[in-house]
Structure 1
C-alpha cells in the first residue's frame, strides 16, 4: 500500500469510529433514561447512600465530607454490614422526615447516648440514630429457629436499687498511738530489772529497771553543788551573783530531767543531799509488755530500745477489702465483727478509716474498725470474720452481669432490635451487686433489651462482618474495552489486516 493510500485509509477509519461512538452514546443514554423512568413508575430500587469510614453513624444521600473528621464519604455497599439493612428492608425511598429517631449519640463517644438532642461532654452536637440504622456498623440478623437452637435469652435494662454485703476476714492489731517504746538516754549498766517478762501487765509509773551510770552520778553531784552555791549566795548583797546561783541550779536540774530523772527523784535528792548510785526508770503508761530487750547486768547505750508497752484496752481490726469492692465502702459504715473462736460472739462498730494504698501481697485495701476491749477478749493478731453492709446505689440502670462482654479494653452488650436483628453496643459499667446485676452508666437506655446468653457467638459474628466490611472496597463502574476504547488501542498492523 502506498503512503498516500495508507494515510487516506486511516482518515476514513477515524471518521467511521467517531460516528459510531456518537451513535453508541446516544443509544446508551436513551436506554438509561428508559430504565430510570421504568423504576420511577413501578420498580423499587435502593438509593445510593454514603457514609464515613471512621464514623459509621453518619449516613447521607449525597457524596461529600464527614462533618466530624472531614474525611470523604464513601458509598454504602448494598447488602453488606454497615448500611441500614437496605437489602432486607428498603429505606432508600422512605422520606427522611418519616424515619423514627431511636436515640441520640455523641460523635466521639459511642457510649454517650440520650433520648433527646443536646450536647456531648466535649461540647459537640449529638447525632441522631434512626431505628433503621446501627451506629456500630455491625448489626447481625439471626432467624428465630437458629436463635432458639442457640439458646438465646434476653433481659431488659431496668432501674433498680443495688446493694452488696461485703464478707471478708480481718486481723486484730494494737492501737498504734498507744504503743510506747522505752529506752535510756544515757549509757550505763542495768543493776536491777523489775519487769522481766514479756506479756506482763504494767501500770503507769511502775518501776521498770535500776540503772547505774557514771554520768548520772556526776549529774547528781553537780546538782547538789549548785544547790549549796545557791543557798550560800542567796544572802549576798550582789544581786547578779545571787541570780547566777539560781541559773546554775536550774541548768543542773534540767540536765537531770533530760535524762528522764523524775521530779520525785530530784526532790528526794534535794531532801537527803545524798547521791544515789542507781536511778530508776518508770513506765510512762499502762499496758502489756510486748517486747523486752533488757537483761540484768547488761550494758546499754544511749537510745537503745529496752521495752515496748502496748495498751490493748482499745484495739484495731484491719478488714481486707478487694479492689472491686471499694466502690461499696466508705467511712462511717456499720461493720460487724464475728469472733469464730469465742462462741461466735458478734461485735458492731463503724469503719474508722480506709487506707489510701493497696497491700502488694494480698492486693487488698485495709479498712480500720476500732473496738473497745475492756475484757481483753480481742487479742492482737487474732483472726476474725467481718461483715460490712455496703452503701446502696439507688435508681441505677442495670442489666444481668452475664449480658456484658468484657474484653479488657471495653465492655459490650448486644441489643435486640426485633425481627431477629441484634446490635453490638459499647457501654460503660459501674458497680456489681450481690444479686448478679451490673450498673450501666453509659451506652443503654431504660427499657432496651439485651442478650444474656450465646452472645459470644454474636460477638464473633459481628467481628467477622466488621473485618469483611473493612476489606471490601466500594464498587466502581468499569466499562469494557470495547465500549470505552472502541478499538482505539488496537495495533496498527491489526487495523491494516482488517481492510486487506
Structure 2
C-alpha cells in the first residue's frame, strides 16, 4: 500500500510540474534572437525619426517617402527602444508593453556624428553645399554727403582800431577776393596820430644820426622802429608805411588788404559805418578745397579707414565724378541717425562743389588679403552665436559654431574661426537640418541610460518605489525636462 501511494505522489508531482511549465511557457513572451532582429529592415521618416514602419511607404505627418534604417558603421547596437515610447529602453531586442517591436539605437548616437539623411530625402529637401575657400572680399559703400567749407580755410577780417569806414572796395557777399587785394579804407584819429608820431621819429633819427654819442643815435633808431611796429600791428601794410615815410604827408584814411584769397561768405559792414576794435567786418572762405561730410552706418565702419579713395558724384552735374580722400573719421556717433561722420577732402578748382550742396558718395573698400569666406546663406544666427552645417560625406551633416567677420556685396562673409579651407558647408535648406539636429539631440538626451548601480532617489517622503508592473512603462528611465523643452522649441 505504501508503494502504491509513493507512485501516485510521483505521478502527481511530475504532472503538476509539466502543467506549470506549459503555462509559464505560454504566458512568457518569446525573445527573438539578436541576429534575427538585427536582420529585420524597418523604415523611418528622415524628418520624423520616431515614425517606424515594417514596410516602405509615406510618412503620415509630412508625406515624405520612408527610408530604411541603416546600421552604424561599427556594426554594433547600444540599446533597444520602443518606437512609441522613447523612454522604454532595453539592452536586448524584444517587444514593448504595447506589443511593438523594439528598434535599435545605433552606437555613437546623433551627438557623435551629427545627423544622417538619405540621398533621396536630401534631393527632395534641396540641400546644396559649397566649399570653404579663400577669396578677396570687396564692398562698395554708397551714402550721401554734405558739402561744407573746410574749417582751416575760413578767415575773418576784424578792425583792430576804432574808426569809420570811408570806403568799401569789396561790397558784395559772394565776391571773389585775391590775396593782397584792398578791402576797405578806415579813418581813425588814432591812426592819424600814429602817422604823425612816426614822421616825427623819422625826422629825429635824421638829426641825431651824426651825434658823437652812439647811444643817442641808437635810441632815435629804436623810437622809429617802435612807431613802425605800432602801425604794423594795426594792419597797416609795409608799402603804406614806406609811402608815408617818402612823402612825409599824413593820410586821413588807411587801407586794409586781404591776407587770404577766397570768396566773401559774410559781409557785416557798410560804407560810412562806425566800427569798434575787435568787430568782425567780413568773412572770407577759400573754396579751392572743400569737405564732404558723409554718413557711415555702424555696420559699415569695419570697411572704412582713413586714407581710402572716394568718388563724389554731383547729382545736378550730369553724373560728373570727382575723386577725394577720407581725411578723418569723427570719434562720436550721431544719436538720431546712428551714423559716424567721415570727412572727405575734395579738390574744387572750378568751384563746382558749393557749400550746403548734397552729393552722392561711393567708397570702394576691400580686405587687405585673401581670407576664408562662405556664402551668407550658410550662416544660421541665434541669440548666442552663429552656426553652419558641415557636410561629412555619406549623407551625414554636423552643426559647428563659427565666428564671422565682415560681409561683402556679393553675399560672402568672412570666417575668422571654426572652419578650414576645403570643407563643405550647407548653403540651402539648413533650417530643416537644424530642426532635425535639435530633435535628435533632444531624443538622445532623453534616451541616455542610467549608470549601472545608480538608484534614483524618490522626489519626496513616501513609500519606496514599487517594481515595474506588467503592462506599464518602466519607472527608472524618465525623460529629462530640459530635453523635452529642447524638443518642442
Please give the range of the TM-score, normalised by the shorter of the 2 chains.
Answer: 0.5 to 0.7
Aligned to 1:242: 217
- Name 2:174's counterpart in structure 1: 199
**Residue in structure 1 matched with residue 72 of structure 2 by the alignment:** 89
Instruction: Specify the alignment match of 2:378 in structure 1.
Output: 403
Give the alignment's Cα RMSD to 1 decimal: 4.0
User: How big is the shift at 1:305?
Assistant: 2.4
**Residues in 2 aligned to 1:225 and 1:471: alpha-carbon distance in whole angstroms:** 111
Deviation at 1:364, TM superposition (A): 3.2
Alignment-derived partner of residue 268 in structure 1: 243
Given that 1:172 and 1:384 are in contact with CA atoms closer than 8 Å, whether structure 2 keeps it comes out as: yes
| Counterpart position of 1:107 | none
The reply on whether 1:357 has 2:340 as its aligned counterpart is no
Partner residue in 1 for 2:418: 443
Q: Distance in 2 between matches of 1:479 and 1:359?
A: 60
Deviation at 1:328, TM superposition (A): 4.0
CA distance in 2, matches of 1:258, 1:372: 34
In structure 1, stretches of 5+ residues that fail to align are 1-38, 45-86, 95-131, 482-488, 490-500
Match of 2:344 in 1: 368
Offset, 1:296: 3.3
CA distance in 1, matches of 2:266, 2:414: 50
Quick one: structure 1 residues 419 and 230, their matched pair in 2 at CA, closer, same or farther if it must change by over 3 Å? same
Aligned to 2:207: 232
1:263 deviates by 0.9
Indicate the residue corresponding to 1:158 in structure 2.
133
Structure 1 residues 150-159 or 454-463, which shifts more? 454-463
Structure-2 separation of matches of 1:480 and 1:364: 63
Q: 1:409 to 1:382 in 2, by over 3 A?
A: farther
Does the alignment pair 1:217 with 2:189? no
TM-superposed CA distance for 1:280, in Å, is 1.9
Deviation at 1:246, TM superposition (A): 0.9
Q: Distance in 1 between matches of 2:387 and 2:176?
A: 61
Which of residues 255, 258, 271 is equivalent to 1:280?
A: 255
Match of 1:384?
359
Q: Provide the secondary structure at the position in 1 that maps to 2:317.
A: coil
Contact 2:312/2:324 (CA < 8 Å) preserved in 1? no
Query: Are residue 427 (structure 1) and residue 421 (structure 2) matched?
Result: no
* In 1, Cα distance between equivalents of 2:162 and 2:112: 82
Change over 3 Å in CA distance of 1:407–1:227 after alignment to 2: farther
Instruction: Give the aligned length.
Output: 363
Contact 1:186 1:303 in 2 (8 A): yes
The alignment partner of 2:190 has SS state of helix
**CA 367–287 in structure 1, closer or farther in 2 if over 3 Å, else same:** closer
Scaled by the length of structure 2, the TM-score of the pair is: 0.62
Task: Evaluate the alpha carbon distance shift between residue 148 and residue 230 of structure 1 in structure 2; reply closer, same or farther with a 3 A threshold.
Answer: same
Change (3 A) 1:202 1:480: closer
- Structure 2 stretches lacking a partner, 5+ long: 1-33, 39-69, 78-106, 457-463, 465-489
Match for residue 275 of structure 2 among 290, 293, 300 = 300
Contact 2:111/2:444, CA 8 A, preserved across alignment: no
Output the CA distance in 2 between the equivalents of 1:367 and 1:226: 53
1:432-483 per-position Cα deviation (integer Å, ceiling 9, x unaligned) = 22211112121101222222234345556656777898899972445889xx
SS in 1 for 2:219: helix
User: For 1:298-377, what aligned pairs fall within 5 Å after superposition?
Assistant: 298-330=273-305, 333-347=308-322, 349=323, 351=325, 353-360=327-334, 362=337, 363-373=339-349, 375-377=350-352
Contact 2:132 2:374 in 1 (8 A): yes
Mapped to 1, the partners of 2:113 and 2:162 lie a distance apart of: 82
What is the CA–CA distance in structure 1 between the aligned matches of 2:455 and 2:367, rounded to whole Å? 71
Q: For 1:154, what is the secondary structure of its paired residue?
A: strand
TM-score, normalization: structure 1?
Answer: 0.61
Deviations 1:25-44 (A, max 9, x none): xxxxxxxxxxxxxx9xxx99
1:415 corresponds in structure 2 to 390
User: Matches of 1:318 and 1:275 in 2, distance apart?
Assistant: 51
TM-superposition CA deviations, 1:241-297 (whole Å, max 9, x none) = 111111111111111111111112212222333333332211112211011222334
